[in-house]
Structure formats: structure tokens, C-alpha cells
Amino acid sequence: MSPRAYPPPPSVHYAATVAGLPRLDGRTVAITGSTSGTGAVLARTAGRLGARLLLLNRASERADASLATLTADGVAATAIACDLQSFASVRAAGPAILAAAPDGIDVLCNNAGVMGLPDTATVDGCDVQMQTNHLSHFLLTSLVWPALRTAADARGEARVVNHSSGARRGRPLEARYMEAHGGDLGGDGFPGFAKWRRYQQSKLANLMFTYALSERMPEADKAHGIKALAAHPGPTNSGLQAKTAQAGGTRLLDRYILTRTLKVAHSVEDGALGIIRASLDPTAEDGQFYGPAERGEPGEAVLLPAERDEASERLLWDVSSATCGIDEYFESPAAR
Ligand SMILES: NC(=O)c1ccc[n+]([C@@H]2O[C@H](COP(=O)([O-])OP(=O)(O)OC[C@H]3O[C@@H](n4cnc5c(N)ncnc54)[C@H](OP(=O)(O)O)[C@@H]3O)[C@@H](O)[C@H]2O)c1
């Protein structure tokens, strides 16, 4: 089965949405996963609107190409190595990001992700999907929080945007998926549901993190304009599906999910509109969630109803903090 069998669809909504966005001169936008897909579109879009970019990718030729392409397009971009499969790499990226953004970070878009990977442990012992998609973003956000404060103080707002998925639905969060049980979370046997359960949990974590962050951030930070938002792209023809197949996602269920996604998918530009609106739309508010409205279908990125779940939010915060080794998530706002 080739996930490339479906050609990229034309963009329907992208141009009109982007035409309504303001200039971003003097703003800094940090993005995880700019090498392809929705992260590449957000980077190009924000860069062309005048933002300075921080590209947070794991080191690779794809990361080098992302920087080269944006720079050739006249965008001011800085690359900082950040491998989301390693807490040590994320911890090393934190100070480098703060040093590269002395005027603050206006938008941190936690976009990068992997999907449907085998039941494998990272070097930190966590599930590869949960650590890449959620835990490392949870840690990264805590490390760059001072830069969000700097931007909010200087320019009246700053945003954290998390990229969820239509696959978030199914079951409430369970602690074991966010703990160090990588390689012991259901395996990859017939019929292959377990890998998609692990993906579901990681994508639900993205949304629950958004609500938990909004709820728990210090009042002073909220008053200064820091916002937590989420988006989901809808089925999108990006680099994601090919990587699932390359990693061994060839069982009947894998083939069904990948084929169904690509058959109905919209373009990567239209798929990026959720994170584009959450990151750059001046009307977006704290706690909001953007994406196509119809379950499993492509469509315009619209404001979606909230999906608050206090039990999952509390579990997410407590377990993620413990797994990432974070004692105090926010430094005292009095230090500002
Ligand atoms: N496409 C869809 O239908 C769909 C649907 C729902 C949700 N999403 C979500 O949308 C987001 C973007 O995915 P996409 O569709 O744009 O896929 P994509 O084209 O594969 O992009 C994923 C990005 O994540 C990066 N990444 C993966 N592992 C990483 C790591 N360990 N450290 C740093 N970066 C890493 C990739 O970089 P490398 O070049 O290093 O691999 C790439 O830049 C993901 O969070 C995904 O879950 C996508």
C-alpha cells in the first residue's frame, strides 16, 4: 500500500484566511516540526508576514532544508536543535531558545508529531508517540515560559498553541500512557489497535494540556495576555502517513486508517489553518480550539466547542510533571 497514491488536493480556504491576517513584524514565532506538513506551512506563512522564526527540529537534512528554504524566501529564521524523543535534547534547547529570543516569544506552536509508531521506548523510557507528541512539548513550554512572559509584557500577548487531532476521541486519559512504560503499552500485534490507542492518548493529551495550562497559569501571566490554544488539522495529505507506513504500519487496520485519511484529505495548507488561526488570528482567545467542525472530514478551520474534562486535565498535569521531572512548572511571577 502506498500512502502516496493520492495526489495532493488543491487548497480551498488557505488564501482567504491568510489574506485576513495582520503583519507580524517585530514578533517571534517558535515552531516544532517545520520540516514538512502543517509546521512548514505555518513557518512560511508567519515568515512572509514578517515574523522572525525559531525552527525547533531534530537535526537532519530535512531540518537544514527547512532553514535554507525559508532563508531563501527572505525570512529571518534561526534553527535550534530540539529532538522531542529526548528530554536531554529538549532541556538543552531551552536555554538556547531563550538566548535566541531576548525580545521574547510571541507564539510557541507545539506542532511536531508522529503517528502509529511501534510500541517502543525512547531513551527516557517513555512511549515514543507520547513523548514526541506531548511530554516533550509539556517540558519545552515550561522551559521557554520566561520568553512568553517577556513578549506578553512588551506587546500585550503571547500564545502557546498545541496541535491535536480528530483521533483524540475515544477514551479519557490514562496515567500509564504518560508514565515511563514505553515498549509495554499493548505491543503491535493483531489487529493493531494498541498503536492507535497510544496515538489517541497522545493527541488527547495535546488538548488537555491546553486546558490545564490555561487553568493553571499564574493570574499575572493571564492578565499580561498569555494564552493557551489548541487546533486540529482534519485529515491532511502531509508527510505523516508515509512515515507511519515506513515504520511498519502495514497491517490491515493501518492500511485502512492511512488510506481513508488520504482519500478524504485536504491540502496541507488547508490542514495548517487550525494552527495558523490559533497562532496568528488576532480574534483568538485563551482556551480556544480551532479546526474542521465535522468529525473525520476536511473543512475550514472554525472555532470549536470546548471539550473540558477536569479529571483528565488534572491527571495530565500531575503525571506529565512527574514524568518530565518538573517540581514547579512556573517560576514565581514576582520575578518578572
Ligand atoms: N496529517 C494529518 O492527517 C493529521 C491529522 C491529525 C493531526 N495531525 C497532527 O499534525 C501535526 C503535524 O503533522 P503533519 O501532518 O504536518 O506531519 P509531518 O509532515 O510528518 O510533520 C511532522 C513534523 O514533526 C517533526 N518531528 C517528528 N518527530 C520529531 C522529533 N522527535 N523531534 C522534532 N521534530 C519531530 C517532523 O520532523 P522530521 O523531519 O524530523 O521527521 C516534521 O517536521 C502532528 O502533531 C500530527 O499529529 C496530522
Higher pLDDT, 335 or 331: 331
Question: Which atom from ligand 1 is nearest to the alpha carbon of 242?
Answer: 20
C-alpha cell read off for 70: 525559508
Q: Has residue 47 got a pLDDT over 90?
A: yes
Distance 135 CA to ligand 1 centre (A): 15
pLDDT digits (tens, 9 = 90+) for 169-200: 999 999 999 999 999 999 998 888 999 999 99
pLDDT of residue 334: 60
Distance 39 CA to ligand 1 centre (A): 8
Distance 36 CA to ligand 1 centre (A): 7
Distance 236 CA to ligand 1 centre (A): 11
Pocket probe mutation, ligand 1, options 238, 243, 262, max atoms within 8 Å of Cβ: 238
pLDDT of residue 191: 81
pLDDT of residue 162: 99
Cα separation, 221 vs 148, in Å, equals 9
Q: Has residue 333 got a pLDDT over 90?
A: no
Cα separation, 30 vs 51, in Å, equals 10
Alpha helical stretches, state H, 156-239:
175-178, 193-216, 219-223
Cα separation, 18 vs 28, in Å, equals 18
pTM over cut 0.85: yes
Pocket probe mutation, ligand 1, options 4, 6, 32, 38, max atoms within 8 Å of Cβ: 38
Count of CB atoms within 10 A of residue 74's CB?
Answer: 8
Q: Has residue 1 got a pLDDT over 90?
A: no
Classify domain 3-326 by CATH architecture: 3-Layer(aba) Sandwich (3.40)
Q: Are 158 and 103 in contact (CB under 8 A)?
A: no
Question: Which atom from ligand 1 is nearest to the alpha carbon of 34?
Answer: 43
SS3 263: helix
C-alpha cell read off for 285: 482567545
Averaged pLDDT for residues 254-276:
96
pLDDT digits (tens, 9 = 90+) for 209-257: 999 999 999 999 999 999 999 999 999 999 899 999 999 998 889 999 9
Q: Are 63 and 78 in contact (CB under 8 A)?
A: no
% of the chain exceeding 70 in pLDDT? 97
Sheet containing 226-231, strands listed edge to edge, beginning at the edge strand earlier in sequence: 77-81, 52-57, 28-32, 107-110, 158-163, 226-231, 289-291, 302-303
SS3 324: helix
Question: Which atom from ligand 1 is nearest to the alpha carbon of 236?
Answer: 3
Domain ranges of the chain: 3-326
Cα separation, 234 vs 169, in Å, equals 13
Q: Has residue 276 got a pLDDT over 60?
A: yes
Averaged pLDDT for residues 298-303:
98
Q: Indicate the burial class of 248 (C-beta count within 10 angstroms; 0-12, 13-18, 19 or more).
A: middle
pLDDT digits (tens, 9 = 90+) for 112-155: 999 999 999 999 999 999 999 999 999 999 999 999 999 999 99
Q: Provide residues with CB under 6 Å of ligand 1.
A: 32-39, 57-58, 60, 62, 83-85, 111-115, 132-133, 163, 165-166, 232-233, 235-236, 238-240, 243, 261
If you compute the radius of gyration of the chain from its CA atoms, what whole number of angstroms results? 18
Instruction: Give the phi and the psi of residue 103 in degrees, each rounded to 5.
Output: -90, 5
